[in-house]
Structure 1
């Protein structure tokens, strides 16, 4: 029996029962009270149709019940009625009879095993069965935890407790661990104010104060077991540069009971209560969202630290509507034109020798701010009243700044809207502004598995070379992997290095033959030859010669050997971000690695292996618009050569080889969208990119 299966079933109060049913129940209880308990052989008992419990019992639970009966006997009598053939039909206690039959089949009991029963009239059998099953209540989880804890204090093991009470050893172990939870939480469990899954999530930390803080400050979707567990194990985070702390304010955080841990190495300290800070952040964002919704007429409002993502749970719950084309009034357009003219005049004056650049920069900033405000008002006004009546607004933090995402639709509201074709006009309006869920954009052309493997192998070789040149970093990664396997053997985090004492460089070369003459292989080959010259004859037969080497030498050669075990090759782009060799990113960040320092795309390794359309897209991303258009008119081979020549003059590499924190050079049409991307998007490349102004109506 799992922990989650032991849930209390609420009893129906007597006041909710009908008078007739109450009378029948009273009659059944009276009949059972008058019937004496008799012992009959198990072979005389049979199942009958009058038993209202029709579903077959769970096999695992039935085995547990059988084990309990074998250990302590049948503790509760069965209710039976006489049958015409002399047998006794079981009206209440069918599961116990099935468990007894299991024991008979296994040879653990004999046919004459005595079973306690109460005998009632056949006409009463159905009522007895219904009454017993409707009144049955599983042992409450809080009672289980308390009972197991008391039995454990007497010296009983989990296996002994389970065998006596009919539970699995695993289930008893879980309950015994929960017995050490904060007493206040156990009290809430008994009152059904917290469920067993939530309690189990909070047990990720043994700190009672932490358990209570997390539970007290969590609400709504943040009370799911996953959210609770993440919050419980979250460690202190640096206060310096923390966007949530800057948004809420240090004073507000401290006034709410939050504190800081300060050490000798930082003036700002560390945030001690991250759960409280998250709660304050949500509350403040929610207040702003509600103000925006009320001022602009949106149906609902939500405040959250991260923006709405276009994948995962957010994608299942929300649909992001496209910003409708803003239309400015004549007066607004005239003001924008005047401000544009003013900006042009300021630009001309800045070219003069005696220009006051500071003053003109300030004037330009004011003009641009006014234009942005006018355009923001027009963008807000573009949302129709029909859409506002159904959709909502989400306020979040993006790069530490306030971000307002209008036009967020709850998916549960979509069926109603889709069916509304004539009454409100909402359906027609939505059809023109809904996101790619309905009018999907052309699917992005994917790369072949062979090319992805080749590119990720090229990237791996480059990182190997960079890592080999920094042996101290290789040692750091190796020690970290050793610690994970030694002190956290249950960790699901894979080791960074594939330390099988087999270098992966040759495999990378097989995957990407064009890398043989690349810069990374040149460095790796030079290092390999240099180290090989230092190895004595028959070096592999003994390590005595290594005892003469000093520590820096040992670290250096170990770093080289470890670097060559790195394996980031993959045959498909990552689900999140569409990256080739995404597992290399932590190592690249540690090394401050830039792929373009080691590798550049050529006709042989990239352009000759993709379509002309993708070649054109690549040149466009590298801000080579003219070349991008020219290659579409060329033959494939010529286009690849042209791309290699032009790209060699830039620092461009394919987006699939960039870490998610890097932003590739974009054409002007995409640059504005990328500039507004969410802070979490910069970390994952998968979250929502706010495409509208964060202007808030007064």
Structure 2
């Protein structure tokens, strides 16, 4: 007959006065973990003891129970109860729920202590997220939940954000189908459909890193650091109904603006409002845009305005600001780090002083009615107003007005000139106020010349030869004459015949990326030009005298600056039909000279700040070109990592891989310069690939396309 299994007998539970309990040295927990004893004591005081202590009777030398009990399992709870007793919030004889282990058992106290800690299963993070959400639905505030569970309010916000992710994705996370970091990335947006769409894409491709998930979720948004967002302001954008995506788990720079159309509308409305206020000053035209391309003011005369005089109150305010700024700088001159409040105050003072320094200039009202302004946003998100530009078609009227006596007031006021017809409301595109036809020009030059044209030409031919001979004998005069001519064209932007047939043609950039004007090269040119222009006299005669007085080093520096405006390294389509366009020979000659010039100055486009991005290169070439770039920069292994991706994903990942490598496409590389001995045979050699006549475009979607010609990229 089989022996029956012995029934399991549970250890008895009983209430034991706290002063009969002592902490056992057999407790295996030695390292602090979890919430503090103080927090645990507060939790016990609030909700009472949720789990009994595991105790064992203490025996005397004869093996008899002494009435005292040791606590091998539940030491942190014992310490928390002990703290409450010390605080007199719990009586020493308060009954404590305990599970009493039998004496004489073969299971040691250390084993009990270890089992209680090892067999405990931590709560799945998803369960915690959902409980926080349930508590909020029950009416608990985020602050209350944080206080109850001894965590920060930000942690509660994060957990609640995770609980709001698509239920489908939460189920995937619960089944260990994605990591917590991936789930955190999805919390950037509350759009469940978009979350599920992105997860399906990244899960299929295997390209499911958290940063990639965030990138895909925010690719249709505008960063809060974008100058348009800063110009409008997040408060105004949200007040208009716009939504801002924010990442509670990563530094997001203020988030992402989700409604691009709304942002564009708010930018246009605010710029239009600003332009309408400026139009009241009496300008003939105003051009309004969020951003203008580099060189947008080429060919326009710039009026020289004068800063408005400060009133007595303004001067006193300026002096006070300057004094406070100087005092703070002197006080903290030797400090390694400025206190936050001092740093903030210095920033406020600098902004106030800059406002005084950059206050609008005062222009002659007689000139304003023939000039205009550009209204845009600068790189910092502030309003940028460029006043005082005269278009070429307005030059005749402007010169005529300038010849008249200046206004007695010298202040730009609306209606200051009879020619000013008022300023209509500004538009987002070009606005012309008071547009007038140019005054009729009387072609009466012959009438004022006492001699026939042919005779004058013959006479001046003699003078020209004599003048050439004389100038050639005086190098300093020749350099002065050249610099004078170049400065007139570069700084005054006045073109036309003169006694010296030399000059710089401003090379325009008809095809350019939107960010070209913000590049390091563009900013350097603008800053250098502004520095020189501040010194260059506006009067022709004064300019000559100023150039004569310049030292040789300054002359050479100014000459280099002026000459640089004529540099042309642009690729153009070759004109094969004998028209006015550039020939193949002319293009080859231009690019060879550009290479030689680049070698002479040691130009490195990577060091100059150019890097391959989706917008400026990778998104506009074939997949084979993208893989070739990654292979050149990072090797075959890196190229193989992305060769299975679709074009959109491939371009973005290639941009990340190429960051910091210094890789450049062929047209930007520093080419080898041919030696003079090879020049004679250069014309017989075939054109390079990107100068060939093959202008056929290949598909951007096929998997086996032929590479584009470099010029088309």
Give the structure with higher Rg (CA).
2
Q: Please state which band the TM-score falls in when normalised by the shorter chain.
A: 0.3 to 0.5
Structure (1 or 2) with the greater helix fraction: 1
Given the two structures, how large is their TM-score scaled by the length of structure 2? 0.37
Q: Which has the higher contact order (CA 8 A, sep 6+)?
A: 1
